[in-house]
Amino acid sequence: MKTTGFIILFFVFLSLVGAMNITREDAEKAIIDSERIIQEMFISNLSILYVNDTLFLAQQTFEQAKFANILRNDSSAESERRDAQKYLALINWKEVDYDDVIPFTEDIKNRKEKAFYLNDLLFIEERKINVDISQETQQIFLNAKLAFREDRYDESEKLILDFQKALEKELSQNSVFFGVRSGARNFFEKYWLYLILLFVVFICASYFFYRHFERIFLKNKIKKMIIEREVLQGLMKKCQTERFKEGRISALVYNIRMKKYGERLEEIKQILPVLEMRMDVLAKKFLEKYIK
């Protein structure tokens, strides 16, 4: 027991010593590595909202540690000390050091690993949706993809597990429903003529309702795109303010965000006129049909 306790204390001591040995260069390298990770995630079309915020905290902590070390160094110039005191006026700087940067950068590393893991898992599970499964089970998978895109990784992982269980349950029931499908086939062979007539009536009715709802769908889609365009323009202005006026984000983060917002605005610019033109055509057809 004494030996075990000594080993535990030894490893705790090593971890504390390791934390104390984090230098400014180590912290700078960790932040640079984190920026590369974020760029890699962006190129892979993965959400970077969470890691961007975490990187900002890491950079902020680095600046605090830099000024704290100026105050700890008696040989620091008086002007540097004044700047440091001003920056750390509301912070207990005595407890801040470069080792505080590492938890944030490690969190970014872990986030990247989980993002790629879930992305691969979603790809694998999506390939299974080639069988006749229920809409409810498909919706579970769609919710998992949505949670993943919105950076809710824990929720996405849980939904993937729910999808796997639901899919396994449905596949096990396929053999039970085989006899029912066979009976349905016999029914169609007996009443195929009546079913075809019913199908023709259904197609005619569907065409009428399709034209009606197509106009409603286009109207709503155009409205949503106009709203999204305004939101994106507002986000770009906010990003410019945070970069050039407030200095809250780095050039890399600024360029990544502006590129992403700009690409989406360009998509809207190309799609919106097509939808509006299509809406005009439907409106003219409607007037020609019912006014005449």
Query: Would residue 270 count as lying in a domain?
Result: yes
Residues 122 and 30 in one domain: yes
Residues 123 and 24 in one domain: yes
Residues 160 and 135 in one domain: yes
Residues 102 and 141 in one domain: no
CA–CA distances in Å: residue 54 to residues 100, 239, 243: 13, 17, 17
Residues 186 and 213 in one domain: no
In angstroms, the CA 99 to CA 124 distance is: 39
Q: Which residue range forms the structural domain that includes residue 285?
A: 200-292
User: Residues 6 or more apart from 270 whose CB is under 8 A from it?
Assistant: none
Query: Would residue 210 count as lying in a domain?
Result: yes
Residues 69 and 167 in one domain: no
Query: Would residue 7 count as lying in a domain?
Result: no
In angstroms, the CA 120 to CA 223 distance is: 35
In angstroms, the CA 37 to CA 280 distance is: 46
Q: Which helix (H) or strand (E) holds 93?
A: none
Residues 65 and 161 in one domain: no
Query: Would residue 273 count as lying in a domain?
Result: yes
Residues 289 and 207 in one domain: yes
Query: Would residue 60 count as lying in a domain?
Result: yes
Residues 71 and 86 in one domain: yes
Query: Would residue 142 count as lying in a domain?
Result: yes
Indicate the residue among 99, 127, 155 that finishes a domain: 127
In angstroms, the CA 38 to CA 111 distance is: 10
Nearest to 133 by CA among 179, 161, 169: 169
Residues 82 and 105 in one domain: yes
How many structural domains does the chain have? 3
pLDDT by 10s per residue, the chain, length 292: 433 443 344 334 334 434 458 898 999 999 999 999 999 999 999 999 999 999 999 999 998 888 888 888 778 788 888 888 888 888 778 888 999 999 999 999 999 999 999 999 999 988 888 667 888 888 999 999 999 999 999 999 999 999 999 888 888 776 556 555 656 666 666 777 777 888 887 786 666 666 667 778 888 888 888 998 998 899 989 989 988 988 888 888 889 988 999 999 999 989 989 888 888 877 777 666 655 5
Indicate the residue among 142, 157, 190 that finishes a domain: 190
Residues 48 and 66 in one domain: yes
Indicate the residue among 74, 97, 127 that finishes a domain: 127
Q: pTM of the entire structure?
A: 0.51
* CATH number of the domain where residue 222 is located: 1.10.287
Residues 101 and 28 in one domain: yes
User: Residue 138 has which token pair?
Assistant: 């498909």
